[in-house]
């Protein structure tokens, strides 16, 4: 039976996620500030509306995929927010990557209104969003996850319950900090091989079968021409932006300060991505750090 779903945030990740729900037979109404994204969603069979409040009031599930904590807080809280508009029993799922505290704040507010809510950030990139193979890291009540699971399984292949409200975000922050570190290390290693006259594909192939093996090397290679269908081979367009990685590394460093954890490589990675962004590369895919590491002083 089709479920009435509102999906807010039709960006590089949200659009294919929402489209997969449409393909699964659900009635999905999409909203985004970019009209072209809404048109693309409609062209794929999604529903559109000029009245977001009315759509939320009629929804069984509301899913959000937004850029940062402030956007999520603005979307859910306040007199015109989702929590004020949703009817009793509506399941709320936020797939954005935000701070743990922001997720807990929204989760507490939802609980006060008797609305089940999950923080469910994802990993897998735009390819995973398109192919329905994302990994969901979920925080919230087990009963809410049980209700959400059939819909998450349409969009992803792995679903992990990390704990209570905010725990999904904590796991995601840990994962993306490691991802940023690995991308820099992989780029450095390939650059070192190239500087010594090696073919970057040979270097990558060898490391992929050796102890340096990692996801960024095998699935998301940062060197142009080494792998097909990755941002590096299309001018670093699409994918996961430098500024988004910088945001996530900032969340990791903030979390470390709050918890007393030590993240020296995470902090260094944040600084490198900050330099890369300030040089004008903020909108490029985060694998473009490979370019910065090849620049001559």
Residue 214 has pLDDT above 90, yes or no: yes
pTM comes to 0.87
Residue 296 has pLDDT above 90, yes or no: no
Rounded to whole angstroms, what are the CA distances from 18 to 11, 33, 37, 46, 72? 10, 15, 11, 8, 18
Return the active site residues.
172
Question: What are the residue ranges of helices labelled H in 2-99?
Answer: 14-23, 35-43, 52-58, 69-76, 82-85
Mean pLDDT of 171-184: 96
What is the structure's pLDDT at 137? 98
| pLDDT tens by residue, 215-262 | 999 999 999 999 999 999 999 998 889 999 999 999 999 999 999 999
What is the structure's pLDDT at 239? 83
| pLDDT tens by residue, 56-107 | 999 999 999 999 999 999 999 999 999 999 999 999 999 999 999 999 999 9
| pLDDT tens by residue, 105-131 | 999 999 999 999 999 999 988 889 999
Classify each residue of 188-217 as buried b or exposed e, where b means 16 or more C-beta atoms within 10 Å of its C-beta.
Answer: ebbbebeeeeeebeebbeebeeeeeebebb
- Which pLDDT band, with edges at 50, 70 and 90, does 1 fall under? low
């Amino acid at each position: 039976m089709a479920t009435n779903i509102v999906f807010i945030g039709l960006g590089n990740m949200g659009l294919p996620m929402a489209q997969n729900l449409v393909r699964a037979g659900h009635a999905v109404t999409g909203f985004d500030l970019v009209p072209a994204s809404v048109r693309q969603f409609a062209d794929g069979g999604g529903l559109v509306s000029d009245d977001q409040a009315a759509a939320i009031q009629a929804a069984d599930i509301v899913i959000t995929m937004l850029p940062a904590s402030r956007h999520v807080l603005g979307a859910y809280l306040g007199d015109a927010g989702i929590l004020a508009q949703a009817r009793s029993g509506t399941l709320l799922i936020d797939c954005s990557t935000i701070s743990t505290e922001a997720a807990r704040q929204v989760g507490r507010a939802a609980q006060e209104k008797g609305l089940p809510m999950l923080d469910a950030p994802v990993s897998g990139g735009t390819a995973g969003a398109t192919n329905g193979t994302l990994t969901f890291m979920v925080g919230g009540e087990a009963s809410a996850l049980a209700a959400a699971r059939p819909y998450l399984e349409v969009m992803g292949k792995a679903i992990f319950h990390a704990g209570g409200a905010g725990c999904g975000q904590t796991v995601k922050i840990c994962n993306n900090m490691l991802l940023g570190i690995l991308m820099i290390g992989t780029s450095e290693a390939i650059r070192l091989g190239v500087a010594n006259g090696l073919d970057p594909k040979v270097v990558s192939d060898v490391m992929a079968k050796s102890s340096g093996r990692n996801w960024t090397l095998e699935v998301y290679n940062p060197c142009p021409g080494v792998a097909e269908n990755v941002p590096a081979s299309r001018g670093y367009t699409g994918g996961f932006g430098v500024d988004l990685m910088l945001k996530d590394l900032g969340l990791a460093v903030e979390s470390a300060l709050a918890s007393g954890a030590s993240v020296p490589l995470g902090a260094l990675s944040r600084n490198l991505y900050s330099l890369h962004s300030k040089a004008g590369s903020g909108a490029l895919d985060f694998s473009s750090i490979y370019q910065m590491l090849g620049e001559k002083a």
